Amino acid sequence: MKDLSRRNFFAGGAAAGVAGAMAFGPRQAFAQGSPEAFAGSAGASGKPAGLPPVWGEEFLYQWSPPENLERDLTPGTSTIRMSSQIQPRLVPNEATDYDAYFANVRALGWSAVESASTSWTANRISDSKIRELKEAAAKHDIVFYGLHCAGNIIAPDPDADRWQRHIVDSVRMAEELGCELILTHAGSMYSNRNWAHPKNWSREAWMRSVAALKRICKDTAGSKIKIAIEAVNTESVNNPWAHARLREDVGDPRITVGLDITNMVYPGVAFRMTEFLNTTFDLLEDQIAYVHAKDFVWNSMLPGMNWAMNGTGNMDYETFLVRLSRLKSDPYMLVEFLDDNEDYVQAQRNIRAIAAKVGVKIHGTQP
C-alpha cells in the first residue's frame, strides 16, 4: 500500500501540489480525482479533509464534479465474490441442512456468505456440525468469510465493556468457523450506534474507540482474524482518512477496512463519487478486507440521501467494480440493505451487467 496516512498525505503533497498547479490548469490537475491532486490542494492550503476545489470555492460548496472528469476504467485481474443478505440467513442450528443451504446460495449466483455474530456467540453448535458446515461450503465453492458484529464498543458504560467482550468472543468464533474477518465499528457515544451523538467526533470519543480496539487486539493477540472497521456516517470513522488514522493509532495491522462507501457519503461527495472512490481506494487499497455494495440518491430537500437499487444511483459502479478488481486478492462484496430476495436478484443483475461492460470478473453465474 502507498504510504498515504493523512498526515503524510498533506505534508508530502504540499510541494507536489504547488508544482502540479504550476504545470497544469485546475482541470488537468484534478482530472483523475487522484489523492495526489487532492493532497496538493489540501496540503498547500492547510484545509481539512475533503475533495479538491473545483470552482468558486470562496462562495460555493464544492459539490459539483469537475467538468470533463476522466475515468480510468481499466479493470484489474481479481475476481469478485458476491455475498448477500437473502433469506434465510446463515445461522447456527443443529437441524440445518447446510449442504442444501449452500447449494441454494450457489444456485442463486452468490459465492460467499457472512453471518451475524450474535447468533454464533449465543447459540453454539457442535464441533461436528461446524465441520459439516465447512465441508458443505467447500463442496459448493462458497467462502464463509466473516462475522458481522453487533454492538457498540464505545457505548456508555457499562455497555462498552460488554460489547468489547462480544467482539473478542466473535474473533474466537470466527477462528473456529474458519473465517477471515469480523466486522465492527468505531462506535457512538449514544447506546444506539445509528444515532449521531454530538461528541462522536470529539477527542474523547476518538480515544474511546482507539482504547476499545487496543483492548480487543490485546485480548485476541496471536489471532489472524482481521478486525475490519465499517465506516458509518453517525460515527467518527466516516471517511477514508479516519480509517487510515485509526489503524495507525491502534497500531495493529489486523485493524483493516470493511469498506462501505455509501456509509461515508455526504453532500460534498454525493455527486463526486468517481473522485471519492478513487481517493479512497488509493488511500486504503490493501487495508480493505472486504466491501459492502449499496447505492444511494439525493432526492429530498434536506441533504438526506436515500438508498437506491444498485447501479441506478450516484455510486459510479463502473469505477467501484474496476477499483475492486485491481485489489491484490479476490475481494468479497456484500450486497446488503435491500428489502427482500427479489431486490437481491435485481441488484445482482445490475451489478453483473455493469461488471461485464467494464470487463470485471465476478465469480459464478446468475440463473
List interacting residues with other proteins (CB under 8 A).
Answer: 65, 69, 71, 273-274, 297, 299, 306-309, 311-320, 337-339, 343, 345-347, 349-350, 352-354, 357
**Sign of the torsion angle spanned by Cα atoms 325, 327, 328, 333:** negative
Q: Which is nearer to other proteins, 52 or 313 (CB)?
A: 313
* Gyration radius from the chain CA atoms: 21
- In angstroms, what is the minimal distance from the CB of 89 to other proteins? 17
Strands 143-148 and 112-116: parallel
| Nearer Cβ to other proteins (155/354) | 354
Q: How far is the CB of 336 from other proteins (least distance, A)?
A: 11
The 3-class SS string of 111-151 reads CEEEEEHHHHHHCCCCHHHHHHHHHHHHHCCCEEEEEECCC
Least distance to other proteins from the beta carbon of 73, Å? Answer: 9
- Spatial contact of 148 and 110, defined as CB atoms under 8 Å apart: no
Q: Are 291 and 259 in contact (CB under 8 A)?
A: yes
Strands (E), 136-271: 143-148, 181-184, 226-230, 255-259
Closer by beta carbon to other proteins, 70 or else 161: 70
The SS3 assignment for 325 reads helix
In whole angstroms, the minimum distance from the beta carbon of 367 to other proteins comes to 14
Nearest approach, Cβ of 87 to other proteins (angstroms)?
15
Nearer to other proteins, 30 or 102 (CB): 30
- Cβ of residue 67: shortest distance to other proteins, in angstroms? 9
Q: How far is the CB of 255 from other proteins (least distance, A)?
A: 30
Q: How far is the CB of 313 from other proteins (least distance, A)?
A: 7
Assigned C-alpha cell, 299: 432526492
Choice between 49 and 309, CB closer to other proteins: 309
C-alpha cell at 8: 503524510
Integer CA distances (angstroms), 313 to 10, 275, 280, 295, in order: 31, 16, 19, 6
Nearer to other proteins, 170 or 325 (CB): 325
Q: Which is nearer to other proteins, 89 or 224 (CB)?
A: 89
Determine contact, residues 301/342, Cβ cutoff 8 Å: no
C-alpha–C-alpha distance, residues 344 and 260, integer Å: 17
Place of cell 489540501: 42
In the complex with other proteins, the residue whose CB is nearer, 189 or 355, is 355
